[in-house]
Amino acid sequence: MLLGIAFGAGAVSALSAYVDLGRDGSLAREQLIAHAPALATTPLASDSVDDGPNDLPQDVGSIVKCSAADKVAGCEPDVTFELEAKNIAYEGEGVQRVYSVFNKMMQGPTHWVELNDVVRVHVTNGLGTSGLSVHHHGIHQAGTPFFDGSAMITQGQIPAGGSMDYQFRAWPVGTHWYHGHSGADYADGLRGMIIVRDPADPYREYYHNEEALLVYDANSQMSATEYITYYNYYPKDFDGFPWTGGMVNGQVRYMREVALGQVWRIRLGCGGYNWQFIAEIDGHDMTVIAVQGSFIKPVRTKRLRIRPAERYDVLVKFHTPGLHRMSFRAQAHGTEKFFGYDGHPDITPEARSGRNRGDRNITKVEYPSFGMINMTFDVRDYGTPRGPEVPEAPVFNALADHELDLVTPGSIRIDTNLEPSPPATADRVIPVVLTAGFAYTEKNGTFVKGVPGDSANPTTTKWLFNNNSWVDPSVPLYASKGKYGVSTAPHFETRVVPVKLGEVIDLVVVNSGLGSAPEEHPLHLHGYKFWVVGFGDLPYPIDQIERGEYPPLNLDDPPLVDTFPMHTGKYAILRFVASNPGMWHLHCHLLEHMLSGLQMVLNVGEEHQPEPTAAWYAGHTYGGAVCKSI
């Protein structure tokens, strides 16, 4: 029974015993970090940013002492944060409604931490009657998988009036975010950012200052109401979810003052639940240096497409004084117009015409195609430099007349001087086939009501992995290990896939579009990053592979991410090393799709999964109702 995990100088062997970082090539980097001297927050090269009325609180935590050799789950933390969930009334874009938020703000505070900090987040549930859990998206929870925050998978919900102390190691580096993970609650406002700074940041000399921005859509009613009323039963006259507005850092109109000539590192995340965005700064290029915490070969671009749960780090030099708009053009995730936008070369005619998607069902409707969110950079000429000159960052590729997109072939390549390349081969393939069924099916011009228990034509909307629509367990899987409290009904199982510790896994994801209109599913795997070693048009060449003839794979410098968008008519090969024991959630980050069943769990190294701490049991039990792990 494991109680925690050690890290820091002199403890790398203990870390690698349970989280085999060497298997994915990053142990050498971990050793360097572990033996590096303790560093305070790196001072910025320019004057500090003034905290004006439009600034989101930049929470750096309260500092307490903690030995780097102590166990993550059992020691005193290096930094602590407080998050209190409350319901508040707010009016944005002319719509007043109740939002569920952290710390009475439309977006929770941005948490800035250093790599390898032990972080404690004290979460209090003041939502009244709703349960709560918090997932730190991008944090791998190495040694603390029970604090991953996925409701009924790694924990029960924190009951109304209760609290939980999440404690974890700040790893890996990068631009991450946190959000509610009970149902669709983060769509109602339970979101914020967590930034893990690297004391050995290879780009620190190239920028003066930095800003973290989270952009997202804001619906006009509570997410549970919207889901039950519209999406779940999918009425025949449903015209899609309308664009009702959005926010940047919790504000409808966000402004940031910057000094002329400065270079800023903008840490951009999408906390949306249904819409994606195309980001652009008037008159300025962006140099992309990192994607989802992984450094890439820098790419200069005018526009950047960012989908729910994706994050990008970009460098921007503000060279012209005045007000400059940063626009976020919103697009619905699944429309004919979306798939034809800007002539994307990787969208096949078959996918556009629907030949790869089976019966169109009720999703024949047209969404309102576009919305817009704007923020402003106020570039001021102070007459004197506001910081030293910084060198221009190197550029591997320039897309000045195009937008950067994670799925554009060859546009995003990891920097192998800073990130590991994937293993040459996989030990095992796990197929992940996406399909759908809706409450009403269009056949020969008429709408046919669904059949109870029919996964292809159900009475409510269902999304499926491998012909199975997920059903939540009645006991957290981390406690039960899937041995009780789970559904075993055909096509409606609590689907848990066992994975051996140390296996190299290929998730072969196929999105034929069967049962739905063209879609794009941002798939997120908790606890890991994966290399996108393969991506192409369907059909997936299974016969060719059985003959030992594999499709072209990028084993040199593929994207290394935790979230990847799956287009209709495409397949992807997502490779990762199963080196982190835990119950890890794989799901679509379009919340209606996740709630409708597009999720499964990978049970990695069950015998190596550490025993939860007392704080875990205390935080989410209902009078001691959650039993000890078996």
Give the DSSP H/E element, type plus range, for residue 28.
helix 27-35
Q: Is the peptide bond before 57 cis (omega within 30 degrees of 0)?
A: no
DSSP 103: T
- What confidence tens digit (pLDDT) does each residue in 95-110 have? 678 999 999 999 999 9
What is the predicted pLDDT for the residue at 220? 75
Domains plus CATH for the chain?
1-630 (2.60.40.420)
Report residue 355 as tokens. Answer: 């030949």
Integer Cα distance of 484 and 629 in angstroms: 12
Asked if 518 and 336 touch (Cβ cutoff 8 Å), the reply is: yes
Q: Which of 45, 14, 19 is nearest to 388 (CA)?
A: 45
> Are β-strands 110-114 and 191-197 bridged in parallel, bridged antiparallel, or unpaired?
parallel
Look up residue 472 and give its two tokens: 């939540």
pLDDT of residue 394: 73
Cα–Cα distance between 168 and 134 in angstroms, integer?
A: 13
Nearest to 133 by CA among 627, 625, 626, 619: 619
In this prediction, the residues of the chain whose per-residue pLDDT falls under 70 are 1-71, 73-74, 92-95, 227-242, 333-370, 385-388, 390-391, 398-401, 438-460, 515-517, 621-630
CA gap 77, 68 in Å, rounded: 10
Give the pLDDT confidence of 156-173 residue by residue, as tens digits.
999 999 999 999 999 999
Cis before 539 (ω within 30): yes
**What DSSP string runs through 37-71?**
PP-PPPPPSSPPPP--TTPPPEE--EE----TTSB
Distance between CA atoms of residues 78 and 44, nearest Å: 21
Q: How far apart are CA 288 and CA 2, in angstroms?
A: 40
Collapsing DSSP states into helix, strand and coil, what is residue 182?
Answer: coil
CA 273 to chain centre: 11
Q: How far is CA 512 from CA 275, 349, 362, in A?
A: 21, 13, 17
Contact 430, 506 (CB under 8 A): yes
Q: What is the pLDDT of residue 225?
A: 72
Peptide bond into 53 cis (omega under 30): no
Which CB contacts under 8 angstroms, 24+ apart, belong to 334-337? 334/363, 334/367, 334/516, 334/517, 334/518, 334/519, 334/520, 335/240, 335/366, 335/367, 335/369, 335/517, 335/518, 336/366, 336/517, 336/518, 337/366, 337/367, 337/369
Please check whether residue 426 is in contact with residue 554, taking contact to mean a CB–CB distance below 8 angstroms. Answer: no
Alpha helix positions (H), 231-311: none
From residue 450, alpha-carbon distances to 442, 455, 459 in Å are: 11, 9, 4
Show the tokens assigned to 412: 């995003």
- Residue 586 near residue 601, CB atoms below 8 Å: yes
Q: What is the distance between the alpha carbons of residues 156 and 175, in angstroms, rounded to a whole number? A: 27
Looking at residue 449, its pLDDT comes to 53
